[in-house]
A and B are shown apart, each in its own frame.
Chain A
């Protein structure tokens, strides 16, 4: 199981729960973290730097602590 994919799923849950515009929010997180969320899958290898950036972006955009 990929940690990056876990984070992506948590983000998608949060977007759904808050009723937000998924494409806009995913776009903002993607631009801030430098990762296109659509490209993250269960087989995406974990990269500590990418994980940290994605968490930071989720915190800034959604105020979601991961």
Chain B
């Protein structure tokens, strides 16, 4: 095959098309994967945020209902009004065991203002008499109505309700508080979505010593020093590596943020994060969302492979077809013209050019055949040639 032949040039152009076509498909699939993984990550963040809000609202409703039943219980009301801590503990301790099974981790009674100290802590009865001085405490005192929301205590983050406790005359005798650690939300969220979650708490709102103490109480590793700005309060995966965030929690936008895609072993994940605010509106933490998109990635790879194979096959067949057509319609007929022309110059006046079609090459065949006849006519008028016979 000659390098400067039309056949070679056409073949090179078609092969280039094949390579470009396959490359375009791969690039398109790559772009599609990048785009879709971004969408999946954004969906995960948005969906998880909604789910978190729903769970939060559901738990607030549950705690509200429980507190409603409690404040109408005359024995509890009287014991609390009388300031009888032992009696109150006797009455409520069995209930607390049941509530714990339903997710209520914190239950406190607070003395009324102006003192407002912890009167009884069901989840830690020996500890009482301390001032918490939180935003929600101030709000319930100010409004004398139920307040709810997330509140980051020194050692943990919980969704809480706090409401006044009144005697028969309607006088506020103190406050009751129920809370659920937000850490347990993430396990429910994982069950529903299949995503992995990590609850991050900003160190700015936490106390180092309380975190160490609570870590000892809850028998968890003290991970305070793992990250500079936050602690991982809870997570649904054993791996610490997939929860990685270098930014400032306070800078995470309200609607959440998609972080990067990453690969660990054979698995591909996308990460995202959304902020969690306390009752006062501070960004005190964030929920880290990790979605495993390995199956999507594998499906995309398979699709890309199939598409590339189909494209290469189709283009290879196209190349074969084009070359076959060119050979039959152009090259073979041009070769025939060349052979006849050569033979005519060599003295063969019998070979004729058969006009096989009326296409462009056919028009050339016709012209050349006419030229051949003129040439033969000319040669017959050369006397020397006639003598030679």
Contacts and interface: CB of A to CB of B under 8 A. Distances in A.
**Do A and B actually bind?**
yes
A63 to B, nearest CB: 18
B342 A27 contact: yes
Interface in B58-86: none
B117 to A, nearest CB: 115
A36 B375 CA distance: 12
A51 interface: no
A26 B345 contact: yes
Interface-centre pick from A23, A24, A26 (highest chain B CB count, 10 A): A23
Interface string B306-349: 00000000000000000000000000000000010111111110
Contact of B384 (A23, A25, A39): A39
B382 interface: yes
Interface string A23-42: 11111111100001111010
Contact of B346 (A23, A41, A43): A23
- Helix, strand, loop or mixed for chain B's interface? helix
Interface in B339-362: 339, 341-348
Interface residues of B, number: 14
B345 A39 contact: no
B378 to A, nearest CB: 10
B171 interface: no
Interface-centre pick from B341, B342, B384, B388 (highest chain A CB count, 10 A): B342
A31 B345 contact: yes
A39 B346 contact: no
Contacts of A25: 346
B32 interface: no
B379 interface: yes
Contacts of A9: none
Interface-centre pick from B341, B347, B379 (highest chain A CB count, 10 A): B347
Interface residues of A, number: 16
A23 B348 contact: yes
Contacts of B342: 24, 27-28, 31
A25 B342 CA distance: 8
Nearest to A31: B345
B1 interface: no
Interface-centre pick from B345, B348, B384, B385 (highest chain A CB count, 10 A): B345
Contacts of B385: 38-39
A30 B345 contact: yes
A22 interface: yes
Contacts of B344: 27
B347 A26 contact: yes
A39 to B, nearest CB: 7
A31 B347 CA distance: 12
Nearest to B375: A36
A27 B345 contact: yes
A30 B346 contact: yes
A28 B338 CA distance: 10
B341 A38 contact: no
Nearest to A29: B346
B346 A26 contact: yes
A28 B379 CA distance: 18
A23 B346 CA distance: 4
A38 B339 CA distance: 18
A2 B296 CA distance: 86
A48 B171 CA distance: 135
A9 B346 CA distance: 14
Given A27-B341, A28-B346, 19 more contacts: A22-B346, A23-B346, A23-B347, A24-B339, A24-B343, A24-B346, A24-B348, A26-B345, A26-B347, A27-B342, A27-B347, A27-B348, A30-B346, A31-B341, A37-B347, A39-B384, A39-B385, A41-B388, A43-B384
20 contacts: A22-B346, A22-B347, A23-B343, A23-B347, A23-B348, A24-B339, A26-B346, A26-B347, A27-B341, A27-B342, A27-B345, A27-B346, A27-B347, A28-B342, A30-B346, A36-B345, A37-B347, A38-B379, A39-B384, A39-B385
Interface of A: 22-31, 36-39, 41, 43
CB-based closest 9 A-B pairs: A27-B346, A27-B342, A26-B346, A23-B346, A23-B348, A30-B345, A27-B345, A23-B343, A38-B347
